[in-house]
């Protein structure tokens, strides 16, 4: 056993893999608190659903404000938030959990708000606020996951990177409005 190349020998790994075969992707080497990870991913999922709905609302309302640049951004973001929701749901299932798509309690689970906004400026501001909240809470989740669940952490980091882009896009739109004196 002295010249064992890995921390855990292959035989032990194989035995462990067989023992709880029904747990799918979750092996005994998974050291995270699975229930808690699933809960956090469900909160992120709720956040993404709320963000999708908010951007959709803003997309359709921007039509009447003849704001085509903002409108294109709203639509793109709505689609990306939807994609994030799908990635999260997929990971929750891999972990043996159930993705919570229930409208009931959605706002309580979500870390972002659904704010309609009256003017184009209000909409963009609300989106920027929501993105900044998502950035902070996703960063915290990624840090919490650390080395205990690298796959979920990577997923959260990928989403986080896009939320930072979203925030940057919204800040850019606000600057554009200022420049036009709108």
CB 78 to Fe ion: min, Å:
9
Of the pair 84, 153, the CB lying nearest Fe ion is at 84
Cβ 135 vs Cβ 47: under 8 Å: no
The residue (of 153 and 166) whose beta carbon lies closer to Fe ion is: 166
Site of interaction with Fe ion (CB under 5 A): 48, 81, 84, 131, 163, 166
Task: In angstroms, give the least distance from the CB of 17 to Fe ion.
Answer: 33
CB of 159 to Fe ion, least distance (A): 5
- Alpha-carbon distance of 111 to 108, in angstroms, equals 8
Nearest to 95 by CA among 181, 33, 140, 144: 33
Neighbours of 11 (CB within 10 A): 8
Give the ranges where the chain is alpha helix by DSSP (H). 10-19, 34-64, 68-94, 106-109, 120-145, 150-180
CB of 135 vs Fe ion, minimal distance in Å:
9
Give the nearest distance from C-beta 84 to Fe ion in angstroms. Answer: 4
Residue with tokens 């359709």: 60
Name which of 32 and 54 has its Cβ closer to Fe ion.
Answer: 54
Phi, psi of 160 (to 5 degrees): -55, -45
Is 28 or 157 the residue whose CB approaches Fe ion more closely? 157
- Taking the least distance from each CB to Fe ion, the nearer of 44 and 120 is 44
Task: Classify 23 in phi/psi space as left (phi over 0), alpha (psi -120 to 50) or beta.
Answer: alpha
């Amino acid at each position: 056993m002295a010249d064992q190349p890995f921390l855990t020998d292959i035989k032990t790994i194989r035995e462990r893999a067989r023992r709880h075969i029904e747990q799918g992707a979750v092996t005994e080497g998974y050291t995270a608190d699975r229930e808690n990870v699933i809960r956090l991913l469900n909160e992120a999922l709720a956040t993404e659903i709320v963000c999708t709905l908010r951007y959709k609302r803003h997309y359709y309302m921007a039509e009447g404000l003849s704001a085509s640049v903002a409108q294109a951004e709203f639509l793109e973001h709505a689609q990306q938030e939807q994609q994030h929701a799908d990635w999260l749901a997929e990971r929750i299932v891999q972990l043996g959990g159930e993705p919570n798509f229930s409208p009931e309690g959605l706002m309580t689970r979500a870390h972002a708000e659904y704010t309609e906004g009256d003017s184009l400026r209000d909409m963009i501001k609300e989106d920027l606020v929501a993105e900044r909240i998502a950035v902070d809470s996703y960063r915290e989740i990624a840090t919490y996951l650390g080395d205990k669940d690298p796959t979920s952490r990577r997923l959260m980091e990928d989403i986080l990177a896009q939320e930072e882009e979203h925030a940057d896009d919204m800040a850019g739109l606000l600057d554009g409005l200022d420049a036009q004196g709108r």
